[in-house]
Amino acid sequence: MRLPPFEAVARRGWAVCAAAGLYFTAALPAAAQVTCTVSAQGAAFGSYAPRGAAPTDSTGNITVSCSGAVGQAVNYSILLGSGAGGSFFPRKMSGPSALSYNLYTDATRSTVWGDGNAGTFTVADAYVLTSVTVTRNYAVYGRLFAGQNISAGSYADSITVTVTF
């Protein structure tokens, strides 16, 4: 089941990212079943100065919790959609005008987090369950680009988070 879990909202020069959850169950061979839940906490960009010289950075989080028998292998990739603008370079929040931003896998904001196509990268993880439930957190590094001449108002984009086994 996929829900639109990563939503970015800007109001009068500031942006807040909110998240809903994504739930799925992976059916493995009869003796081995792993259940995972995924949730996202958005990046709150705070105040955005349209004439500012520096970008506005923020960090969000994606949490993946997997449950099963101790010793079971878990292997997945986390993909982010391009949003309503249909492009990763850059992503666009829609509103009275377009507000350009992007989401990255790294704190230097050099690797665009996407679906693994068109020069984007995914985040992958593999581990063995050391307890009945293992929770992992993945930082999402956001950036609103500097110097955008935008109108005051509400801006929004919705990013789909997909976890594949």
Divide the 165 residues of the chain into consecutive groups of 10 and give the mean pLDDT of each group: 36 29 34 84 80 92 96 96 93 91 97 96 97 97 94 85 89
Q: Is residue 1 part of a domain?
A: no
Q: Label residues 11-45 b or e (16+ Cβ within 10 Å = b).
A: eebbbebbbeebeeebeeeeeeebebbbbbbbbbb
Domain membership of residue 100 (yes or no) is yes
Average pLDDT, the chain: 81
Q: Report how far Cα 42 is from the mean position of its chain's Cα atoms.
A: 8
pTM exceeds 0.85: no
pLDDT more than 90, % of the chain: 61
Beta-sheet pairing, 91-94 with 161-164: unpaired
Number of domains into which the chain is organized: 1
Closest by Cα among 147, 135, 154, 121 to 7 = 154
Asked if the structure places residue 132 within a domain, the reply is yes
Does 65 fall in a domain? yes
User: How many Cβ atoms from other residues are within 10 Å of residue 135's Cβ?
Assistant: 12
Return the CATH number at 60: 2.60.40
Residue 100 tokens, joined: 């350009």
Expressed as residue numbers, the domain containing 64 is 6-164
Backbone angles phi, psi at 68, to 5 degrees: 175, -160
pLDDT value, residue 51 = 83
Where in 42-122 does DSSP place strands (E)? 44-47, 56-67, 73-80, 91-94, 98-104
Specify if 76 maps to a domain. Answer: yes
- pLDDT at residue 20, rounded to an integer: 29
